[in-house]
Structure 1
């Protein structure tokens, strides 16, 4: 089916967001996120550039908003341990199903899993050195996005950093993802929502120009290949 990618499909909904989604398929989707994120999200680069330099100065606190299956948090925890560095990592998600599954997969990483909204942590006075999200922005309405950005700024300290990383919508990204996932859908992605939801995610995602036009002052939008967006804010700059 052909889709118009010139505008954001904000009314489209991913299958995994359905509260009545098949739980077995949902859990297989969480499990496959580890592979998908490793291939397309560049979590290793994020760790080397933004996490490790801060952790070398002393123990830090890290918050992942909309953590899903928690694979990025566990990767960060493993690399910190490998490098002899210390951090307190919280994986936050509003979906109880995600938190329940992620907690069961922890394997001693030490990540803290919590079902809550970012606004609840703000109300509690929590502060972190790094606040980030991965593939969350496209799930949000414009109002929810603005609330997330406000909460994120409130949750970082004077020298804190906020990094929200997501997909950049384009026809090239849609066609490439469609082709690659079709090739492996019968094996690696079988019994999950990864292929269909990924295509919906691209349709729901922002372009760099769109995101730049709606974020408040102090935020920087960066585009990188292959079709990635990164929204950054330094805590000191915004206070």
Structure 2
């Protein structure tokens, strides 16, 4: 698989196209919850990184960036409520289609969402205890990545966590086979494209500024960490 030897930052995911099929996009949003539950590793990161900074008495604020279908921030709000922890989650995404999908879902206590960029929040002087994102880094070009990390430093009072796919020769065929049952959506096609666009740990370390640490997680993941 020589095509995985180098990150392909020019290939475009179908759901990033403004004219992509809306029915397949809606199915993709619906299927994200199942896929992310298996591959994203956020439950483990929640237990080890986020839950320890939360409190039962003081409300902690969390910003989730590029929330897409919203399954990750919705899970954060549910997990906090189940653990009796005071957490207020804000989910943002600049895509009007993602925003419309989120607005179509039943509300979750402790979660709000808005259509916005991180730069909008920085301009407003907003601050959050924790900033997170899932599967966002590989979508960004170099300038956008630098902007996201600078904004995250400005917005996160305690901790920023950006979790993403790590490109591997094993992960590509495993994902290809595992997602064969997902029909009428972009899950399989865009997931394989995402792997081609994603960083290996050393590649990510080479482009992030000082103060950010790249950690590896299983299966096939990078976790970008910044502590204020």
Normalised by the length of structure 1, the TM-score is: 0.92
1:169 equivalent in alignment to 2:167 = yes
Secondary structure in 2 aligned to 1:229? strand
The aligned counterpart of 2:62 is 62
Residue in structure 1 matched with residue 8 of structure 2 by the alignment = 9
> What are structure 1's unaligned runs of at least 5 residues?
none
The aligned residue for residue 192 of structure 2 is 199
Give 1:154-193 correspondences, 5 Å limit: 154-157=154-157, 160-182=158-180, 184=181, 189-193=182-186
| Equivalent runs, 1:110-189 vs 2, <5 Å | 110-157=110-157, 160-182=158-180, 184=181, 189=182
Runs of 4+ in 1 over 3 A off after TM superposition: 106-110
| 8 Å contact from structure 2 (residues 74, 108) kept in 1 | no
What is the alpha-carbon distance in structure 1 between the residues aligned to residue 217 and residue 87 of structure 2?
28
Q: CA contact under 8 A between 2:77 and 2:108: conserved in structure 1? A: no
Deviation at 1:88, TM superposition (A): 1.3
Q: Does 2:43 align with 1:44?
A: yes
Q: State the shift of 1:98 in Å.
A: 0.3
Whole-angstrom CA distance in 1 between matches of 2:81 and 2:217: 29
Distance apart, 1:97 and its partner CA:
0.5
TM-score for the superposition, normalised by structure 2 = 0.96
* Distance in 1 of aligned mates of 2:101 and 2:121: 22
Q: Structure 2: 5+ residue runs without aligned partners?
A: none
Kindly provide the CA deviation profile for residues 131-159 of structure 1, in whole angstroms up to 9, marking residues without a partner as x. Answer: 010000000001110110000000012xx
- Residue 203 (structure 2) pairs with residue 210 (structure 1): yes
1:79 is displaced (CA, Å) by 1.0
Cα-to-partner distance string for 1:62-85 (whole Å, 9 max, x where unaligned): 000000010011111111111111
Distance in 2 (CA, whole Å) between partners of 1:119 and 1:143 is 13
Change in Cα spacing, 1:100 to 1:3, as seen in structure 2 (3 Å) is farther
Cα RMSD (Å) of the superposition?
Answer: 1.2
Q: Number of aligned pairs?
A: 227
Corresponding residue of 1:233: 226
Q: Which residue of 2 aligns with 1:76?
A: 76
Give the C-alpha shift of residue 50 in structure 1.
2.2
Deviations 1:91-111 (A, max 9, x none): 110101001101211333341
